[in-house]
Structure formats: C-alpha cells, structure tokens
C-alpha cells in the first residue's frame, strides 16, 4: 500500500505474496511425509502386536515352568525381570537387524526418489536415527514384554503345576487378550490399505486426465540469448524467427513453436488483469491474476492444442499490428461468462496507466493443465511472441518418432546461428509430465509398500494365533471327531472362530479410516476420501487374506486323528 501511494503508476494493482522460507522448502511434502511417518508407526504397532502374541503363547507354554520356579522360591519380581530381559533382548536383536537393513534401504530409496523432494542429501542413517532405534527397541520390548507378566501375576501355582499348559490358553484374561491383538492388527492394516488404495486410485485417475495437449513425440528445450549481444527486441525477434524457420525445416520435425516459459511449470508468468469497461478495482479488493505467456504461431500446432473458436496467431500479428490475445476456456468462464469474447479487450497491470497495452481477444482454445496434471486449471492468455518478446524462450518440436534423436541435430542448427548459445532443460514433454507426478508416485509406492507389509504382518499374526489355538485344542477337536464331527465341520469351526476375531477389526479399521482419510484430501485427485469402492475392496481383500492365513492351521486341525489326539492327552 505504501509503494502504491508513492508510485501509483507502476504499483497500482500489484500484489505481494509472503511465505516463510521453511514453507517454501518443505511445504508441499509435509503432509506426505507425516503420512509416511504414521504408516511406519502403524507397521511398528502391528509388529509389536505380533511379538506380544508370540510372548503370550510362549508364556502359556512355559506356565508350568514359571510356576515351578515360583514354587521353588523365585519371587514374582524375579520372574518378571527374566521375562522382560528376554523380551527386551529379542527387541534389541530385531532393532540391530532393522538398523542394518535400514542403512541399505535408505540408500536405495533415496536413489529412487524424485529430485523434487527437498533436502534428499540430508537423508541418512546417522547417530540420531540409531539412537532413536535403540530407544524404540527398548521401550517396545518393555511395553510388550509386560503382557506375559499378566500370566505370572494371575497364575495359581498348584493349578498350574497340575496343568500341562496345552489347554489353558484361552480360559483366562490373558487368553482373551490374543483375539484383541489380532483385531487391532487387522484394524491398523485396514487403515493403511485404505490410504494406499485411495492414493493408487488417485494416481490412476491422474494418468487418465486429458492435459489439453498432445505430449507424444514432443521435444522441449530452452534457449536464452544474452542481452549483451542481443541488445534490442528487434535483434532478439530476428534471431528467434530464423531459428524457428530452421527448426521447422529439419527432417522428421512435423511442427515447431515456442513459448516464454517451461510448459510444465507450477510457476508460470502471472499478472493482474483488468477488463475494458469494468469499474475500477477497490484498493482492498483481491487482485485478479491470470497466466500470461508469449507464443509463436507454431506453438499451438506443435503442442496439439485445440482451437474452440476464433483464430490462432499468424505472421500478420507482428510487433506493429493490433495487440491481440488467445485465451483459454477458463479465462472466458471466469471473466467473460455468457458474453461474446471476441472483440473484448483487457490489459495487464494498471488499467489507468497511459502506457497500458489493451489486448483484443481473437481466439479461444481448450483448457490445458500446463502446470501439471495434478494442478488446477487456471485462466490463461497468450500473446504473439512478436508483440511480447523475451530473451528466454522454451522451444517445442513435434517429431515423427523418438524426439530425443533430434537433440544433436538441434544443437548443430543452433550452433550454425550462434556458436556461443547453449541449450538447457532438454526433455520430452512426456518426461516432463511424468516428472510432475514423480513425487506423488514415490509417496504412493512407499505407502503401498508399508500397507502390503502391514497386511503381511497381520496375516502372520492371524496364522500364529490360529495355529496356537489349534495346538491347544487338539484334544477337544479329537473328541469332536470321535463323536462324529466331519472334517468340514472342524474346518468350518476353526475358520469361523478366527473370522470372529477378524471382523471386529475390519469394522473398527473402517471406522478409523473414515475419520483419518480426510487428512489425505490434499493428496487425492478424482476420488473422494470416503470412496465406497476402495473401502469395500480393501475390507473384502483383508478378509480374504485372513481366511487364507487361517486355512492352513484349520486344514491341519481337520486332519487330526482322534485316537492319536486322545492318546497324547
């Protein structure tokens, strides 16, 4: 406001946007990284639940041994220290192995990560990470090593000595804790799988988006002529005109054009706009900004951009001709709704400035996602390059096939005109589109990997619990089969009981996912956070995985020989 008051001619309509440097560096990736941190925590909890189940089963088997120790004079504190020492030692061994794997995995992940992710050079396994791993391992061992202590605390020495440990696994509170842990594992795995499913569907939707231009067989590169040798707009235009003619005449080049900035860029040129005949903007009114680019007549053909109505630029739109512009459909919807756009004039910057250039709309093109497939469509206006000349320019060449094969020919063509002029940002438009989605693809792959790991750990946990319970109920199952139960009845019994542990986890996990997937909103495209298809597919898939994990111990239970089972008791 102070600058506008002191210098109204050059600052009226100007807008300043302030952003902390930290937000500029990491703002776009904060949500995905926090999401991945949550995924790591979920996988850790599922692994801890598996370890707790293992320790509970081991404690049940050792119930007679622990009770004998207590009968011989070992205090409960002594037994508790023994159990905690074992669990912490197990956790530390796992932490050491995990740290060794992490050193290898971090290097592999960083090498595959896109360059757009900030501060990749700072990602490493250092002393802080190793210290954190040590603390987490110890705390995990202490917390989940407490579960078997419940068996020691609630154990009756005499009854435990009379019991052989094979039939007591499910009659006490500790036995009832195992199904709770299984349900928790399933719930946590479902949350991760839903998040991964939403991101995968979002990525598929992004790849199916029509960008509004044809990226196939398109080579892009950038040249910037130095102002010291090209000291006037006329010299700059003359050089670029000659270069375009030579590039368009190259073998296998179907079309050639240029624009003022990189086409796939989140930061194109933007400026405030004022329409002719509109009331002056109030000082406190928001500034209306649109993308403003220069374009040569061949750009639209080289990109395959489609004309809706009107005309495109021609060689007649030279520097001394009437200032014109080609706008996109979003421009018309935003600034000229329900009106004939042709003949309407607008200007950029301060409309009261006597030097303001008023542009006449002569054509409307289809909307493009020039900032990237995941970015919103913005109002755009293109000016003829002859009427808005810039030293830096991005070239677009459409080839018959394999546009990268043109690079050496392009370099030779440029050197023939100016041996000192380098080219930069050589790429294909398809590569640029892929790179614009690289960060999303990377985050999706990592989260899907964590989700797959979580589902695998949950399946292992279910398998372990069912196998243990089958071993505990060998005599019961033998009696059932001796009394006439068929194998399919035993199979149905075991699978049904295991699914009764899984289904509550599915319900709880679905409810948690409904609440948490709102945090994914900024990462989704073309799919709702509460997409019913994703939720249903993940729930059914997790039930199928759980059933498969139950099938092997259930099948083993169905093949129990009643005579051998009763003889073992």
483 is written with which tokens?
């009394």
Average pLDDT for residues 113-142, to the nearest whole number? 78
Give residue-wise pLDDT tens across range 206-257: 888 888 888 899 999 999 999 889 989 999 999 999 999 999 999 999 999 9
b or e along 317-345 (b: 16 or more beta carbons within 10 Å of the residue's beta carbon)? Answer: beeeeebbbbbbbbbbeebbeeeebeebb
What's the pLDDT band for 73 if we cut at 50, 70, 90?
A: low
Question: Where would I find the H helices in 222-324?
Answer: 233-248, 299-303
Give the CA dihedral 229, 232, 234, 236, nearest 10 degrees: 40
What's the pLDDT band for 169 if we cut at 50, 70, 90?
A: very low
What's the pLDDT band for 102 if we cut at 50, 70, 90?
A: confident
Show me where the domains of the chain are located: 226-420
Tell me the C-alpha distance between 286 and 267, whole Å: 20
Least confident of 74-88, 300-314, 401-415, 541-555: 74-88
Least confident of 11-25, 95-109, 183-197, 209-223: 11-25
What's the pLDDT band for 63 if we cut at 50, 70, 90?
A: low
* Three-class secondary structure of residue 219 per DSSP: strand
Angle separating helix axes 233-248 and 407-417, nearest 10 degrees: 140
Give residue-wise pLDDT tens across range 17-31: 565 666 655 556 777
Helical (H) or strand (E) element with 221: strand 218-224
- Other residues' Cβ atoms within 10 Å of the Cβ of residue 39: 22
Closest CA relative to residue 302, chosen from 160, 387, 403: 403
User: Do 297 and 259 meet the contact criterion of CB atoms below 8 Å apart?
Assistant: no
Give residue-wise pLDDT tens across range 356-387: 889 999 999 999 888 778 888 889 999 999 99
Q: What percentage of the chain reaches a pLDDT higher than 90? A: 29
Give residue-wise pLDDT tens across range 499-552: 888 899 999 999 999 988 888 888 888 888 999 999 999 999 999 988 888 888
Q: Is the dihedral of CA 72, 75, 77, 78 positive or negative?
A: negative
User: Do 50 and 116 meet the contact criterion of CB atoms below 8 Å apart?
Assistant: no
**Could you tell me if residue 174 is left (phi over 0), alpha (psi between -120 and 50 degrees) or otherwise beta?**
alpha
Tell me the C-alpha distance between 298 and 248, whole Å: 9
Give residue-wise pLDDT tens across range 519-530: 888 888 888 899
- Other residues' Cβ atoms within 10 Å of the Cβ of residue 259: 25
Q: What is the DSSP letter of 210?
A: -
Q: Is the dihedral of CA 328, 333, 338, 339 positive or negative?
A: negative
Give residue-wise pLDDT tens across range 34-54: 888 888 888 888 888 887 777
* Three-class secondary structure of residue 273 per DSSP: strand
Give me the chain's average pLDDT, please. Answer: 81
Tell me the C-alpha distance between 62 and 178, whole Å: 16
Q: What is the pTM of this model?
A: 0.77
Report the chain's C-alpha Rg in angstroms.
34
Average pLDDT for residues 256-260, to the nearest whole number? 92
Average pLDDT for residues 307-319, to the nearest whole number? 92
Tell me the C-alpha distance between 172 and 64, whole Å: 15
User: Do 529 and 198 meet the contact criterion of CB atoms below 8 Å apart?
Assistant: yes
**Which residues, at least 6 apart from 98, have a Cβ–Cβ distance to it below 8 Å?**
133
pLDDT, residue 11, reads: 55
466 pLDDT above the threshold of 90: no
């Amino acid at each position: 406001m102070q600058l506008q008051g002191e210098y109204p001619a050059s600052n009226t309509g100007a807008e300043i946007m302030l952003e902390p440097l930290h937000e500029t560096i990491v703002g776009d990736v904060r949500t995905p990284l926090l999401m991945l941190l949550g995924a790591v925590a979920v996988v850790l909890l599922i692994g801890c639940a598996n370890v707790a189940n293992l320790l509970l089963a081991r404690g049940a088997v050792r119930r007679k041994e622990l009770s004998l120790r207590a009968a011989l004079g070992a205090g409960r504190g002594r037994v508790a220290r023994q159990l905690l020492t074992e669990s912490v030692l197990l956790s530390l061994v796992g932490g050491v192995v995990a740290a060794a794997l992490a050193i290898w995995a971090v290097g592999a992940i960083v090498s595959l990560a896109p360059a757009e992710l900030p501060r990749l050079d700072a990602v490493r396994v250092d002393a802080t990470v190793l210290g954190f791993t040590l603390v987490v391992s110890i705390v995990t061992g202490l917390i989940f090593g407490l579960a078997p202590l419940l068996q020691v605390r609630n154990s009756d020495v005499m009854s435990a000595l009379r019991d052989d440990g094979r039939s007591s696994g499910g009659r006490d509170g500790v036995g009832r804790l195992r199904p709770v842990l299984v349900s928790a594992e399933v719930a946590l795995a479902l949350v991760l799988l839903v998040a991964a499913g939403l991101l995968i569907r979002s990525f598929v939707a992004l790849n199916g988006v029509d960008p509004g231009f044809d990226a196939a067989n398109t080579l892009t590169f950038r040249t910037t002529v130095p102002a010291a040798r090209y000291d006037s707009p006329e010299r700059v235009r003359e050089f670029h005109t000659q270069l375009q003619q030579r590039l368009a005449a190259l073998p296998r080049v179907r079309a050639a054009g240029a624009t003022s900035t990189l086409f796939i860029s989140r930061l194109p040129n933007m400026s405030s706009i004022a329409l002719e005949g509109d009331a002056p903007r109030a000082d406190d009114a928001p500034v209306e900004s649109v993308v403003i680019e220069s374009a040569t007549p061949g750009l639209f053909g080289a990109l395959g951009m489609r004309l809706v109505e009107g005309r495109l630029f021609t060689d007649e739109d030279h520097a001394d001709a009437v200032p014109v512009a080609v706008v996109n459909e979003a421009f018309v919807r935003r600034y000229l709704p329900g009106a004939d756009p042709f003949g309407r004039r607008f200007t950029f910057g301060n409309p009261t400035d006597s030097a303001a250039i008023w542009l006449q709309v002569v054509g409307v093109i289809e909307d493009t996602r020039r900032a990237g497939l995941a970015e919103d469509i913005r109002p755009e206006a293109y000016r003829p390059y002859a009427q808005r000349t810039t030293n830096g320019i991005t070239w677009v060449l459409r080839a018959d096939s394999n546009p990268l094969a043109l690079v050496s020919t392009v370099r030779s063509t440029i050197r023939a005109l100016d041996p000192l002029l380098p080219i930069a940002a050589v790429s294909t438009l398809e590569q640029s589109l892929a790179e614009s989605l690289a960060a999303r693809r990377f985050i999706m792959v990592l989260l899907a990997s964590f989700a797959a790991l979580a589902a695998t750990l949950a399946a292992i946990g279910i398998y372990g619990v069912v196998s243990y319970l089958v071993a505990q109920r060998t005599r019961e199952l033998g009696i059932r089969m001796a009394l006439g139960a068929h194998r399919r009845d035993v199979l149905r019994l075991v699978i049904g009981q295991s699914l009764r542990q899984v289904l509550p986890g599915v319900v709880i996990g679905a409810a948690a996912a409904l609440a948490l997937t709102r945090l994914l909103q900024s990462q989704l495209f073309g799919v709702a956070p509460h997409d019913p298809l994703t939720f249903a597919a993940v729930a059914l898939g997790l039930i199928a995985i759980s059933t498969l994990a139950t099938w092997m111990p259930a099948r083993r239970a169905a093949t129990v020989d009643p005579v051998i089972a009763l003889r073992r008791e």
